[in-house]
Structure 1
């Protein structure tokens, strides 16, 4: 991994936690991050300097990677202002469709209805891969029974069936205590992905606490012995002293099992979607996305996700170059 000139791991994870509040609530409250770069060093002075502004929004899962990239980019282009909001994948696409952003971070593929709205708005876009994530199912450390769950058990736990479920409903040998649920909000791409591969489109348990703030989910599970939740792998790694990870069908999420796809079906790619016209007409936006693809893999590894193979970044850079 590169030795970052402007960024320490403490700064990376601190920024990641600050960005945890992600959803429609945070958007309404104006919760976004703007980074104005520090003065560049003498070594960088010889490099081409740009001026301008770049705006992005989207996934809280992707946010730790992008915020780390923003911090590093600030040291190379001191006159470019990068503003990154965290409204969740769905909320980010809403702003993208409205023409408010140059790029949109996503923890799922864009939906057909979102594509249609972009077409109607006359906005051409391109999907670029950024990293891998493994949605992590977590329980309270005092939970010594649900250490390994099957996909079918996860479905039985999380699907609404009209009654208050107890752990003993899943396995008679487990405690006769109500299950307490913590889930990402409906604007989250993590929610959408979990809905697709675990719930099969069924309703999530109605008693679940939903939040676009992943750190709130961490606190909820950490504070209740009977709680269960799920969110991106990086948030588990940052809080593994407070949580216990759950194996799914006997497989623990790790960098290796996420990258290989062995951690199925909860391994998934992460993306950044770019507005084609911004890549052509806004030199600062193009340069920032180019920097993201060149350095995002290292930053993904640094904050707890899994980088793509190098050839995937090379292909993405060629695709981006073709938009100019």
Structure 2
């Protein structure tokens, strides 16, 4: 089974820095402005909800006269909330589809702007006592897909078919997934299942935390979720990318050796002929600063590089004021 490429925007931006050893992580601190007040509303990704909470708390500690409302029910909820004007911020764990972008262009005459705010490794989780040492992309597809394309179309249903022996050999794999409102669900469906359907027996969960919780409770379960949701009760299984197995580390994610690397985005509405609104702009500047990226690490995700930060701020017309 051929490994699928990283999403285009993420891959292009990561390519700004060549090689993990060369990554420049020295980010500038956030520059506080005077008299900032107002209301922000964020609607979107569940995967990013905890991270958005950390960013909102940090931002409001600087600006007590700013209120931020957060709703995190899934990436699919971000585009309509932005389109209707309900929200100024739309966190998404995937990029918008052409249809979603087209709806914005039809209404506003310009595309929504995706700001890359952190990097995630989509982890394949098993129970902490599970001895599975490595799994390939083809094997993951054969576990979750209703009609797998890999392995001659043969489905994998037991742990023994993944090479486990003893008590594990005949035990069925209990599969945990996000529901179809989730950007993580869409990402997995596209990049692992090749657009195919899930098995009917896959259990759909409303949140990333719920997926990990179910795997932690079930010795024979397997699920997928962002690396930021890893706990002591589960293991993130290394993925086989060619000839070797790679853990979901920072270096492996940025160097693209780990095949399920993705960007995390906050979408904003910005007319290319006008400056971004002050409150949204300051929030984005905070998120992309040393202060905000420290919160990204605290939330379990991987921070952006200096090159990525400057690239994103330049696109938004915010670089000069952020230095």
Structure 1 residue 167: Cα displacement: 2.5
* Correspondence 1:215 to 2:201: no
Alignment partner, residue 40 of structure 1: none
Structure 1 residue 85: Cα displacement: 1.1
Query: Any conservation in 2 of the 1:66–1:296 contact (CA below 8 Å)?
Result: no
Alignment partner, residue 145 of structure 2: 159
CA distance in 2, matches of 1:156, 1:281: 45
Alignment partner, residue 245 of structure 1: 236
Structure 1 residue 108: Cα displacement: 1.2
TM-score, structure 1 normalization: 0.78
**Residue aligned with 2:218, SS:** coil
Alignment match of 2:256 (pick from 257, 261, 273)? 261
TM-score, structure 2 normalization: 0.78
* Correspondence 1:109 to 2:100: no
Which 10-residue stretch deviates more, 166-175 or 207-216?
166-175
Alignment match of 1:136 (pick from 102, 123, 148)? 123
* Correspondence 1:68 to 2:18: no
C-alpha deviations, 1:140-187, integer Å up to 9, x for none?
A: 12322x221111111111111498922334448552122111111111
Alignment partner, residue 20 of structure 2: none
CA distance in 2, matches of 1:91, 1:167: 36
**Residue aligned with 1:70, SS:** helix
User: Where does 1:1-324 land on structure 2 (aligned, <5 Å)?
Assistant: 48-122=34-108, 124=110, 125-144=112-131, 146-161=132-147, 165-171=157-163, 173=165, 175-236=169-230, 239=231, 241-249=232-240, 250-264=245-259, 266-276=260-270, 280=275, 282-294=277-289, 295-321=291-317
Q: Which has the higher contact order (CA 8 A, sep 6+)?
A: 2
CA distance in 2, matches of 1:52, 1:115: 27
CA distance in 1, matches of 2:55, 2:109: 25
User: For this pair of structures, how many residues does the alignment match?
Assistant: 274
Distance verdict in 2 for CA 1:82–1:164, change over 3 Å: same
**Residue aligned with 1:50, SS:** coil
CA distance in 1, matches of 2:301, 2:129: 26
Query: Any conservation in 2 of the 1:65–1:296 contact (CA below 8 Å)?
Result: no
Structure 1 residue 61: Cα displacement: 2.0
CA distance in 2, matches of 1:59, 1:275: 17
Query: Any conservation in 2 of the 1:96–1:104 contact (CA below 8 Å)?
Result: yes
**Residue aligned with 2:54, SS:** helix
**Residue aligned with 1:165, SS:** coil
Distance verdict in 2 for CA 1:252–1:127, change over 3 Å: same
Query: Any conservation in 1 of the 2:139–2:156 contact (CA below 8 Å)?
Result: no
Query: Any conservation in 1 of the 2:146–2:198 contact (CA below 8 Å)?
Result: yes
CA distance in 1, matches of 2:158, 2:268: 45
Query: Any conservation in 1 of the 2:126–2:215 contact (CA below 8 Å)?
Result: yes
Q: Once superposed, what is the RMSD of the aligned Cα atoms?
A: 2.5
CA distance in 1, matches of 2:266, 2:304: 13
